[in-house]
Amino acid sequence: MVEIKVLGPGCANCKRLEQIARKVVDTLSADANIEKVTDYKQIVDLGVMATPGLIVNDEVVSSGRIPSETEVTDWIIKALETN
């Protein structure tokens, strides 16, 4: 199972990133768990200094921007292949 964390306080950009992640997981029919992290201390502890942030299998793949759907798809496919 792929572990995905969307990090951010709940702003529009954070919600958009969560929508993209959920869409990609649905499109791929991936076995994935998506967790929303809104606590600033936990976000910083996870190594993200700018939100929105995206972590796939404990690796920070994006922070401070909204990645494209293609980028998110590539990260999730890579994570599925290494599981």
Q: Which of 1, 11, 44, 50 is catalytic?
A: 11
- Of 2, 4, 14, 61, the active-site residue reads 14
Token representation of residue 55: 């972590």
- Is residue 11 flagged as an active site residue? yes
- In whole angstroms, what is the distance from residue 13 CA to residue 65 CA? 8
Q: Is 14 in the active site? A: yes
How many whole angstroms separate alpha carbon 51 and alpha carbon 30?
25
Q: What are phi and psi of 66, to 5 degrees?
A: -100, 110
Alpha helices in 29-59 (DSSP H): 40-45
User: Active-site residues: which are they?
Assistant: 11, 14
